[in-house]
Amino acid sequence: MTFTTIEFVREDGLARLTLNRPDKLNSFNAVMHEEVREAMKTVQRDDSIRCLLISGNGRGFCAGQDLSDRNVAPDAEVPDLGESLEQKYNPLIRGIAKLEKPVICAVNGVAAGAGANIALACDIVIAAESAKFIQSFCNIGLVPDSGGTWTLPRLVGRARALGMALLGERISARQAEQWGLIWKCVADQELASTAEQMARHLATQPTLGLGLIKRAMLASSDNSLDQQLDLERDLQRLAGRSEDYREGVGAFMEKREPEFKGR
C-alpha cells in the first residue's frame, strides 16, 4: 500500500510512522485514519518490528480531527461522532495501548485535540520546547476523546486534568514535563535526534519483556494491589522463560553487551 498522508518506514527493527499532511497540521481525515490503521496492523503483526516511533512532519505534530472533513452545515444531518470514535480513534488508541512493543512519540509542535491524546497514549512522549498540548475539545462543545479523559487524570491528577479539559489552554512542553504529562522536553533542534536515538535503543531491547511491562502498567489502573501482585507473578513467570532473559543474565555474568532477540 502506498501512503499519501503518512510516511511509514521500517528499518533495523524500528518502524517510523510520520504523519504527513503538514499543510493541515497533520490533522486526521478519513484517508489518514485508513493509512494509520494499515501501518499499525503491520507494526502489530511483524515480529521483526520491535519499536514504533510516531512523529509529525512540518511545524505541528497533529491538530486532531480535520474539521473540514466533517460537514456541520446547518442543514446537514446531525453527525454521529460516537461512530467516528468507535470506528477510527478508539481502535488506534487501543492498538497503541495493547501493542506489546514500545511506542515513542516525538511531538514537534502543536498537539491539539485528538492529536494531543494520541501522543499521550504513547508509551514515551518526547516534546520539542516549542510544542504545545491543547485539549481543544471544550472550545467547540466536545468532550476530550482518544482516551484523554482516562489518560489525563492518571498522568497529571484530577485538578490539572480538569483545568486542561475545561479551559482548553495551551500547555507548553516545559510545563507538560514538569507536570509529568510527558517523559521529556528537549530543545527544538534536539527532538529528532533524541527520539531517534531512544527508538533505536529500544528496538534492540528485550521486546517480549517490554511488552509485558506495558501489559502490567495498563492493567494496574483497574487492579488492586493484590491483583497486581498476582499479575506480576504471572508475567514474571512468562518473562523468565524468554530467551532474552537468559541472554540478559548471561551477558551480565560474562560482562558483555547482551544481544537481545526480542523473544
Q: Which residues are at the interface with another protein (CB under 8 A)?
A: 215, 231, 234-235, 237-238
CA distance 245 to 104: 23
Return the number of the residue (98 or 174) whose C-beta is nearest another protein: 98
The answer to whether the beta carbons of residues 16 and 53 sit under 8 Å apart is yes
Q: What's the CA gap between 195 and 179, in Å, rounded? A: 20
C-beta of 255: minimal distance to another protein in Å? 32
Least distance between another protein and beta carbon 234 (Å): 5
| CA–CA dist 12, 200 (Å, integer) | 8
**Given the complex with another protein, which of 200 and 261 has the nearer CB atom?**
261
Output the smallest distance, CB 93 to another protein, in A. 17
Q: How far is the CB of 238 from another protein (least distance, A)?
A: 5
Would you say 192 or 231 has its CB closer to another protein?
Answer: 231
**Any residues with CB less than 8 A from the CB of 108 and at least 6 apart, and which?**
55, 56, 59, 60, 61, 127, 128, 131, 188, 191, 192
10 Å Cβ neighbour count for 120? 26
Q: What is the CB-side half-sphere exposure of residue 200 using CA atoms within 13 A?
A: 7
User: CA-based diameter of the chain, in Å?
Assistant: 73
Nearer to another protein, 85 or 235 (CB): 235
57 versus 223: smaller Cβ distance to another protein: 223
In the bound state with another protein, the residue whose beta carbon lies nearer, of 192 and 235, is: 235
Closest distance of CB 249 from another protein, Å: 21
Q: What's the distance, Cα to Cα, between the start and end of the chain in Å?
A: 28
Nearest CA to 119 among 98, 100, 99, 134?
134
The residue ranges of DSSP E strands in 189-235, in sequence order, are none
* Residue 6: C-alpha distances to residues 36, 55, 200, 201 (Å): 7, 10, 20, 24
Q: At its nearest, how many Å lie between another protein and the CB of residue 54?
A: 25
Least separation in angstroms between CB 243 and another protein: 15
* Dihedral of alpha carbons 114, 120, 123, 125, sign: positive
Identity of the residue, 70 or 98, whose beta carbon is nearer to another protein in the bound complex: 98
